Amino acid sequence: MKNLLDLTGKKALVTGGSRGIGNRLARALHEAGAEVVIFYNHTCPDGLAQEMQGDGTAVHAVQCDVADRSSLERGVKAAADRLGGRIDILINAAGINRRYWLEDFPTKDWDEVMNINVNGAVYCTQLVGKYMLAQGYGKVINLASMNSFVSGKRVGAYVASKDAIAQITKAFANEWGDRGVRVNAIAPGYIRTDMTKALQDDPASYQGILDRIPEGRWGTPDDLVGPVLLLVSDAADYVNGIVMPIDGGYLAR
Ligand code: NAP
């Protein structure tokens, strides 16, 4: 039987590919056979792309600030050029969080969260979508969150951005579904990355979250690999516009 999860010959772009979830997912696409471009903003260790590539198909690193429309235009063009003019898979994993009480939330930080988490994903999808719609094929994965479903304290901008991501995922799916481009989101639970380091390092927060996870442990980027490979593969061609929790049962509590 054909391996439905095989990505040999596919061309992929992953924003936020330098660290954390984006980096793990970029590695997974590459391990499944895709040629991959990773976008980074500030940090991309020397030789990262080379190390990810190993003996497999090419991995390219491109600097791109997803909050800056002109940087995105240059970055997507550079990515498409490296990938031979085709982009089959886009993972919008770039994201940030800023923690303030809402009554004091600085405008600058609110705007940064919205520009990176929402506008960055929307404009990147728009620009990459030009290639996908012309090809009549594409798979887009957005990074939603538990905070697309439940809110919290001192995360007002983040929860607003992740609710927006859930809705824009469905909006793109509505408009592009009959043109061969599927747009879905994953909603990870609490995952061990730099983004959640402060929560991991605070014993009360760490334990409070752990107590609510039926699986009995925090997640790691590895936990997201299987569902994402499924969603970007031909096995999930009839899956469109979903926001898939991958949370160890957190939402079932
Ligand atoms: P992370 O470890 O902090 O990594 C963030 C990534 O985003 C880095 O690669 C960073 O690039 C990139 N980035 C930030 N600002 C950027 C910009 N302006 N332009 C381009 N790239 C930018 O975070 P993570 O935990 O992997 O999170 C990845 C995504 O998953 C985010 O959208 C996050 O909201 C979502 N998510 C995370 C969790 C969790 O528990 N960790 C749960 C649900 C959803 P540089 O390295 O260059 O700075």
CATH of the domain at 26: 3.40.50.720
Asked whether residue 2 is assigned to any structural domain, the reply reads no
Asked whether residue 146 is assigned to any structural domain, the reply reads yes
Asked whether residue 208 is assigned to any structural domain, the reply reads no
129-161 pLDDT per residue, tens: 999 999 999 999 999 999 999 999 999 999 999
pLDDT of residue 123: 98
Distance, in Å, from the CA atom of 75 to the CA atom of 66, rounded to the nearest integer, reads 9
C-alpha 58 – ligand 1 centre gap (Å): 23
Asked whether residue 70 is assigned to any structural domain, the reply reads yes
Would the pLDDT of 198 be above 90?
yes
User: Contact, 201 vs 103, CB < 8 A?
Assistant: no
16 lines ligand 1 (CB under 6 A): yes
Count of domains for the chain: 1
Q: Average pLDDT of 200-204?
A: 97
Asked whether residue 253 is assigned to any structural domain, the reply reads no
C-alpha 17 – ligand 1 centre gap (Å): 8
Asked whether residue 211 is assigned to any structural domain, the reply reads no
Distance, in Å, from the CA atom of 106 to the CA atom of 89, rounded to the nearest integer, reads 35
Range of the domain at 19: 11-192+220-248
Q: Average pLDDT of 114-129?
A: 98
Would the pLDDT of 53 be above 90?
yes
User: Contact, 232 vs 29, CB < 8 A?
Assistant: yes
pLDDT of residue 1: 73
Question: Catalytic: which of 123, 158, 190, 250?
Answer: 158
41-50 pLDDT per residue, tens: 998 889 999 9
Closest ligand 1 atom to residue 92 Cα is 32
Number of H helices, E strands in the chain: 9, 7
Residue to substitute in 13, 19, 220 for testing ligand 1 pocket (most ligand atoms within 8 angstroms of CB): 19
**Residue 243 CB partners (closer than 8 Å, separation 6+):** 144, 148, 166, 169, 170, 184, 185, 186, 187
Distance, in Å, from the CA atom of 48 to the CA atom of 39, rounded to the nearest integer, reads 12
The answer, as to whether pTM is greater than 0.85, is: yes
245 lines ligand 1 (CB under 6 A): no
Asked whether residue 88 is assigned to any structural domain, the reply reads yes
pLDDT of residue 58: 97
**Active-site residue, 158 included:** yes
Average pLDDT of the chain, as a whole number = 97
